[in-house]
A and B are shown apart, each in its own frame.
Chain A
Amino acid sequence: MRRRAILGYGAAGVGVVALMLFAGWWQVDGPGGPEPIGQRPVALTAMDFRLTDHEGNAVGPETLIGRPTMAFFGFTYCPDVCPTTLSDISGWLDDLGDEADEMNVVFITVDPERDTVETMAEYVGYFHPAIRGWTGPEEQIARVADGFHATYERVPTESGDYTMNHSASVFLFAASGRFVTMIDYHEPREFAVPKIRRALEEEMEGAT
């Protein structure tokens, strides 16, 4: 019966369901959905932090209000997840083309000890030009993560250095600062770009 109802939405609906199943399969290692209850970020308007962008400008949540925002956490000494996320985001921005010009795209380091303003400037320079790198004192980074309900922790490595475990999702906010949704790490791109467009459209609705 339920299947018949889904078919009623036509092939597109079936395609979406298939994609959702595919996304579910990606999550096979972890029980629970992509947005566990209690893990949603607060609105940007409810956050309070002071950071510095990769060009040395003072920034905070108010910097992001007025345009839709894509924000994510990482660190430049990250060998796998972060370059992959930055590459994915660069690809999404390429797909969005001119629409991407309407957005804030912010990469926030969870490793301020190594990720200075200069380091962030060099690093983001290798990716899409819309991507801004934000860093700041440890206690301010902690405040950002708190607002996002994101987590990070420092883990020593065998080589005597350390690496960081951190939230790898990409967070999307409407121009009003309201949290819209997140894009999980490894979510298929077919999902990501429509989600970003949704955040962009919220802005349009808010403007009318």
Chain B
Amino acid sequence: MKKYILTSILAALLTLGGLSVPALAGPEDVVVENAWSRASIGVNRPGAAYMTIRNTGDEPVTLIGLTTPLAMMPEIHETKTNAEGVSSMSPAGKIAIAPGESVALEPGGLHAMLMRLQEPMTEGETFPLTLLFDDGGEVTVEVTILGISARGPED
């Protein structure tokens, strides 16, 4: 909550100051926070990125896809684990975010699956990831690459 308020204040201040704020573009009311991913071993394995996408506006927004120079086929996927403990992944399709709501892309749930990496994901670096919305709006966020064994954005 505190982080949210701080982020909002910061975003508002930066916007008032006429500075551009990464992850605050396109649908003006979409704020992306804590974008992180894990380093990859080479380029043969798909990567995954995680973040919180917040709709601070009065209108619903619908996330329809992703683009990034890092991967030829970035897609939002969802990991599901059934009653037998078997986990599987499938494309999540469109994701609607109601006004004031947020969607968490986090380990074991929704995630940005980065298929066909163009280069290895190296710990300490960042890469741009663009979120595409159904109204044609786009939000680009810099995703931090953490270690392979990272557990969350604070690692």
| Least CB distance, A26 to chain B, in whole angstroms | 9
Please, which residue of chain B has its CB at the minimum distance from the CB of A165? B88
A202 at the interface (CB under 8 A from B): no
Please, which residue of chain B has its CB at the minimum distance from the CB of A155? B88
Q: A159 and B85: CB pair below 8 A?
A: no
Which residues of B sit under 8 angstroms from A83, Cβ to Cβ?
A: 38, 48, 107, 148-149
A87-B87 contact in complex given A157-B115, A185-B81, C-beta closer than 8 Å: no
| Least CB distance, A70 to chain B, in whole angstroms | 15
| Least CB distance, B16 to chain A, in whole angstroms | 38
Partner of B84, one of A126, A151, A186: A151
A90-B149 contact in complex given A31-B83, A159-B73, C-beta closer than 8 Å: yes
Which parts of B43-101 form the interface with A (CB within 8 Å)? 44-48, 72-73, 75, 77, 79-89, 91
Partner of A186, one of B47, B88, B108, B115: B108
Partner of B87, one of A32, A81, A91, A127: A81
Q: B149 and A29: CB pair below 8 A?
A: no
With A and B bound together, what is the CA distance between A87 and B85 in angstroms?
18
A181 at the interface (CB under 8 A from B): no
B31 at the interface (CB under 8 A from A): no
| Least CB distance, A170 to chain B, in whole angstroms | 10
Which residues of B sit under 8 angstroms from A184, Cβ to Cβ?
A: 81, 85
Q: B151 and A185: CB pair below 8 A?
A: no
Which residues of B sit under 8 angstroms from A31, Cβ to Cβ?
A: 83
Q: A79 and B73: CB pair below 8 A?
A: no
Q: A159 and B149: CB pair below 8 A?
A: no
Which residues of A sit under 8 angstroms from B12, Cβ to Cβ?
A: none
A84 at the interface (CB under 8 A from B): yes
Please, which residue of chain A has its CB at the minimum distance from the CB of B152? A87
Q: B81 and A168: CB pair below 8 A?
A: yes
How many interface residues does chain A have, given as a range? Answer: 35 or more
Please, which residue of chain A has its CB at the minimum distance from the CB of B83? A30
With A and B bound together, what is the CA distance between A87 and B48 in angstroms?
14
Which residues of A sit under 8 angstroms from B84, Cβ to Cβ?
A: 30, 36, 39, 151, 167
B128 at the interface (CB under 8 A from A): no
Partner of B113, one of A79, A87, A90: A79
A163 at the interface (CB under 8 A from B): yes
B10 at the interface (CB under 8 A from A): no
Which residues of A sit under 8 angstroms from B150, Cβ to Cβ?
A: 87
Partner of A185, one of B45, B85, B111, B149: B85
Q: B85 and A86: CB pair below 8 A?
A: no
With A and B bound together, what is the CA distance between A156 and B151 in angstroms?
27
Please, which residue of chain A has its CB at the minimum distance from the CB of B151? A87
A80-B83 contact in complex given A90-B149, A126-B147, A159-B116, C-beta closer than 8 Å: no
A166 at the interface (CB under 8 A from B): yes
Chain A, residues 65-102, CB within 8 Å of chain B (1/0): the string is 00000000000110111011011101100000000000
Q: A163 and B89: CB pair below 8 A?
A: yes
B41 at the interface (CB under 8 A from A): yes
Which parts of B82-141 form the interface with A (CB within 8 Å)? 82-89, 91, 107-108, 111, 113-116
Which of A's residues lie within 8 Å of B, judged by CB? 27, 29-32, 34, 36, 39, 76-77, 79-81, 83-84, 86-88, 90-91, 122-123, 126-127, 151-152, 155, 157-159, 161, 163, 165-169, 182, 184-186
Which of B's residues lie within 8 Å of A, judged by CB? 38, 41, 44-48, 72-73, 75, 77, 79-89, 91, 107-108, 111, 113-116, 147-151
